Structure 1
Amino acid sequence: MSAFVKTSRCHSGGCVAVAADDGVVRVRSTLVADGPVASFTKAEWDEFVAGVRRGEFDYDDVAALSSR
């Protein structure tokens, strides 16, 4: 199983870590190393990353949509 990695821009300790192998991407918080892990297929991850790059998950936009 692959090790979790985080962005080099993470300096607070509270960041998102990801690991990928066998067509599955796993995501967890760096604050709780043995905490829950969300798993996604490579296709799901690719769609999510594409949405992030398009700005679809900017915090203010997501917060506004989530409060409806």
Structure 2
Amino acid sequence: MQHPEFTNWHKSNHSDDGGCVEIAYADGLIGVRDSKDPAGPILTFNRHEWNAFTAGIVDGTLTPEG
């Protein structure tokens, strides 16, 4: 389901040819989607959730295998 409030999608600077994500901001929320499937699911985070998510990636507590 597409979230119409997310309209200005930007590809991550950390994306490569095999794993691309896009992010967009709207009404205090951050949306994340697969750039190869723009009509697919969107993960939605509030600012607190986004900060925890990205901190977990940076410090290694959140990994693709975990």
Same fold (TM over 0.5): yes
Tell me which stretches of 4 or more aligned residues in structure 1 moved more than 4 Å. Answer: none
Name whichever structure is richer in helix by fraction: 1
Over aligned residues, Cα RMSD in angstroms? Answer: 1.9
Match of 1:30 in 2: 35
Letter of the aligned partner of 1:47 in structure 2? A
Higher relative contact order (CA 8 A, sep 6+): 2
User: Within 5 Å, which residues of 2 pair with 1:33-52?
Assistant: 33-52=38-57
Ranges in structure 2 where 5+ consecutive residues have no aligned partner: 1-5
For the residues of structure 2 that align with 1:16 and 1:42, how far apart are their CA atoms? 18
Number of residue pairs aligned between Structure 1 and Structure 2: 61
Letter in 1 for 2:23: V
Residues 3 and 13 of structure 1: CA distance in aligned 2, closer, same or farther (over 3 Å):
farther
TM-score for both structures, normalised by structure 2:
0.72
Is the 2:20–2:34 contact (alpha carbons within 8 Å) kept by the matching residues of 1?
Answer: yes
Q: TM-score, normalised by structure 1?
A: 0.70
Identical columns (%): 31
Per-residue CA deviations over 1:10-56 (Å, capped at 9, x if unaligned) read 34164111111221011110111111112111110111111111111
Identify if the C-alpha distance between structure 1 residues 5 and 47 changes in structure 2 by more than 3 Å, giving closer, same or farther.
same
Gaps of 5+ in 1: 63-68
